Structure 1
């Protein structure tokens, strides 16, 4: 039966057998040809044999181009060295990378905010000189400016996620440097201030400062921390931007970059909110001071290190996840292939040119970018915008405090709440708008001009939102017809031995503000139901009298007089809109810089733009706004250890005009240089300027057949 079944099977004819043999021989020949081709390609690739002939000379650049493209588009699995977990490959994408990256960026933003607040507190308590203030404020900008070109040029060639992971380590280390003085020195104590009432026989120790050892340790630790943070920041904001732009479609880059910048502003603003209670400023109130209160205050002040330690821990949490990402995440090869088809305003010779690795090549390529007027204009635009942000972050708390008569802590919190939604939302919305509209380079420049004009208009509205100046004895009001303006001492308080280094504003029943109870001539005080009141003030003679529960007539209460100004909500609305439209141009400016240069010069272009930003923006910015505050000051402490002391009272009108004027000038500079860049684009060669007119979207370019 089985033999019958076998015989019933189909039999191959001689013709079929011969065809099968021919097919098998053809297949073997094909395999031999492929193997020979592979061997010859390998020999050509590694230059084992000298190439001769025109055909081989033409093939060599094409082979190098393929090798370079293959190297750039290499996608590896997600893992740490030889440890590769298959279940973790689902996280090998730009979205997961962005989560850890934004956490790291927000962590450094918190460090920036805490450092600014901590330095401000330290400067006020120790009255540092101009050189010490500048060193503490500008070390970050100077250190980052010195290394940014090297990191952007050489870092763009390597594994960018590993560079960013190294930055996360440095962010944590730098944060610990800032915490070190508060952890190591438990003797951070300032001498307690006596209650500043009028006493004919008293000795006031006005020269109060921390111990010299703590001051030296603080300055050294903060300088080291600023240097480390400056080194850590450049891979984040240069190489991180390039990695994101490489890994997403051209029209989607704005959204991802907007999330990155929004995270930075979110962290900075969050630091203002959580660090405001640690601020030591002019609280415009006087309370009975005890040794226990002083100890509690400095225990609270030393808790700076808790926040810095938390930031270090948060930054280090991202270290291992960021180290696991490969050179290129999944999907990058396809995106790069599409982007390679796009034209660039530079000559085609820069498109496929391999950049050298020597220092000479670095400066040569930098000079190529320096000769491009469009790039220079955009870099200067970026620098002018940074000045506006510096003014908003550093000068806004002082402006709110003095313009609307608030405590330093409250003003700092309000500034943080304004910067948080305004800055973060502006960066995010700016990226979303330009991405959804698929804007071209010229459209991005027009968008920058329009948003800057709107921001300039809102700046004009801000200047009209201010409060009237409160009468202040010795500053803009005399002492009931006695004394001189600009001098706090008058016949009514000349016997009180008052000091201008103890600012404790009070409001008299005559609705005039006084620098302190001592300068008001008050010789007695009471605390009734947690409210402090002053009595028998020799300089207060007019006004309605009010008796307390014990029948004594109250002459003054702590705090400044009520300005009866209710314009703060309107000011917040205008300044919020100003910041919102001002930061709208941040992402478009970055995208324009990335689009006007060739792919292999993008990281260097961003690095050079950051050099312009530091030299013309962040380095002179703090100096300009500190000078603005000094010019607006009408009374400052002059008795402090023989040094120039804190400013206690500002000219509100002058402060408003100076702040708004500087910011308006910066916006005009932004509009001017962006308009010049837009006009210069018209003079580019026609064949090299197509990208300026085409939408920022992956185009399909047909390849020409070779004859």
Structure 2
């Protein structure tokens, strides 16, 4: 049986976890306390060097453009399609998955192929990514021209007296005809009244009875729909105009084109991160 080793005969494995080992003495000296002023002196020259580097500056612009176009568009587009074009939530998410995601994947693959075919260096890749991102961002501005008339939603875009208004107060959906129903203002379950106005929920429409099930449900005795309280409402939002129906395919086509063009700069952007090597001079 081997004897006990002294403190000066520690193995390398032991020195990795033995605290206060003599072999580790002065190996990792404590850092000197650095003042905030000294850190600022090092930070400002480093920041100046970064902002003066053309590749980094172009890549920063590419990131800002993509954050303001592609990422925001992918995040909120299903809800925008659902509310603006009166599509169901399932259809909006299905269209995003079937149309936009393949366009993004194809764009990133095509960007890598073009980068290889054109034999782009780091600066060329940065310019290519900036150009495609800028073109896609400019094209995405045309979405504002593809707008539909605001949906007539009682208490949101229209008062219960059929007066046009835009309300951001959740309490505006409550009125005398549904004050005794104890409805929730946060539940979005739209119904279309016989008067052509959409209500946030059957409860807020003042409906007291229902027949059928699922999409075929019909609500009756809706006090907010008519003065006599005998009007009915059906599940879903009220149908919009034909102009909005004709605009929807163009909206989807432009969405695919912009997603593809912006994604062309995805692979060159990743290659910039991998290949870039900014050398800093240390005093």
TM-score computed with the length of structure 2 as normaliser: 0.67
1:498 corresponding residue in structure 2: 183
1:511 to 174, 181, 196: 196
CA contact (8 A) 1:378 1:593 kept: no
State the distance in 2 between where 1:526 and 1:395 align.
35
Structure that is richer in helix per residue: 1
2:235 corresponding residue in structure 1: 558
CA contact (8 A) 2:154 2:198 kept: yes
2:83 corresponding residue in structure 1: 402
Deviation per CA, 1:428-479, whole angstroms, max 9, x where unpaired? 1111112112234443344234323321331121221122111111222232
Report the 3-state secondary structure (helix = DSSP H, G, I; strand = E; otherwise coil) of the residue aligned with 1:537: coil
State the distance in 1 between where 2:265 and 2:85 align.
30
Shift in alpha-carbon separation, 1:512–1:583, aligned structure 2, 3 A:
same
1:436 to 101, 117, 134: 117
Report the 3-state secondary structure (helix = DSSP H, G, I; strand = E; otherwise coil) of the residue aligned with 1:392: helix
State the distance in 2 between where 1:368 and 1:479 align.
60
State the distance in 2 between where 1:395 and 1:518 align.
28
CA contact (8 A) 2:66 2:262 kept: no
Matched, 1:575 2:255: yes
How many Å apart are 1:533 and its aligned residue? 0.6
2:61 to 358, 361, 381: 381
1:465 corresponding residue in structure 2: 146
CA contact (8 A) 1:496 1:521 kept: yes
Report the 3-state secondary structure (helix = DSSP H, G, I; strand = E; otherwise coil) of the residue aligned with 1:371: helix
Equivalent residue runs for 1:34-53 within 5 Å:
none
Which runs of 4 or more aligned residues in structure 1 lie more than 4 Å from their structure 2 counterparts after TM superposition?
Answer: 367-370, 592-596
Shift in alpha-carbon separation, 1:460–1:481, aligned structure 2, 3 A:
closer
CA contact (8 A) 1:369 1:375 kept: no
1:589 corresponding residue in structure 2: 269
CA contact (8 A) 2:61 2:130 kept: no
State the distance in 2 between where 1:556 and 1:369 align.
62
2:49 corresponding residue in structure 1: 371
How many Å apart are 1:378 and its aligned residue? 4.1
State the distance in 2 between where 1:409 and 1:397 align.
9
2:226 corresponding residue in structure 1: 541
Shift in alpha-carbon separation, 1:389–1:494, aligned structure 2, 3 A:
same
State the distance in 1 between where 2:192 and 2:277 align.
62
CA RMSD of aligned residues (A): 3.2
Deviation per CA, 1:287-314, whole angstroms, max 9, x where unpaired? xxxxxxxxxxxxxxxxxxxxxxxxxxxx
State the distance in 1 between where 2:259 and 2:184 align.
40
State the distance in 1 between where 2:90 and 2:157 align.
26
Deviation per CA, 1:105-134, whole angstroms, max 9, x where unpaired? xxxxxxxxxxxxxxxxxxxxxxxxxxxxxx
* Number of equivalent positions: 224
How many Å apart are 1:411 and its aligned residue? 1.9
2:21 corresponding residue in structure 1: none
How many Å apart are 1:588 and its aligned residue? 2.4
Shift in alpha-carbon separation, 1:434–1:508, aligned structure 2, 3 A:
same
Deviation per CA, 1:284-342, whole angstroms, max 9, x where unpaired? xxxxxxxxxxxxxxxxxxxxxxxxxxxxxxxxxxxxxxxxxxxxxxxxxxxxxxxxxxx
1:523 to 187, 205, 208: 208
Report the 3-state secondary structure (helix = DSSP H, G, I; strand = E; otherwise coil) of the residue aligned with 2:142: helix
1:489 corresponding residue in structure 2: 174
CA contact (8 A) 2:217 2:234 kept: yes
CA contact (8 A) 1:370 1:376 kept: no
State the distance in 1 between where 2:204 and 2:274 align.
61
1:479 corresponding residue in structure 2: 160
Larger Rg: 1
How many Å apart are 1:485 and its aligned residue? 7.2
Report the 3-state secondary structure (helix = DSSP H, G, I; strand = E; otherwise coil) of the residue aligned with 2:178: coil
How many Å apart are 1:480 and its aligned residue? 3.6
State the distance in 2 between where 1:446 and 1:399 align.
32
How many Å apart are 1:595 and its aligned residue? 5.1
What 5-or-longer segments of structure 2 have no aligned partner?
1-30, 32-41
State the distance in 2 between where 1:539 and 1:398 align.
27
Shift in alpha-carbon separation, 1:485–1:459, aligned structure 2, 3 A:
closer
How many Å apart are 1:513 and its aligned residue? 0.7
CA contact (8 A) 1:418 1:576 kept: yes
Deviation per CA, 1:59-84, whole angstroms, max 9, x where unpaired? xxxxxxxxxxxxxxxxxxxxxxxxxx
Deviation per CA, 1:150-172, whole angstroms, max 9, x where unpaired? xxxxxxxxxxxxxxxxxxxxxxx
CA contact (8 A) 1:382 1:586 kept: no
State the distance in 2 between where 1:397 and 1:522 align.
29
2:100 to 401, 406, 419: 419
Report the 3-state secondary structure (helix = DSSP H, G, I; strand = E; otherwise coil) of the residue aligned with 1:525: strand
2:26 corresponding residue in structure 1: none
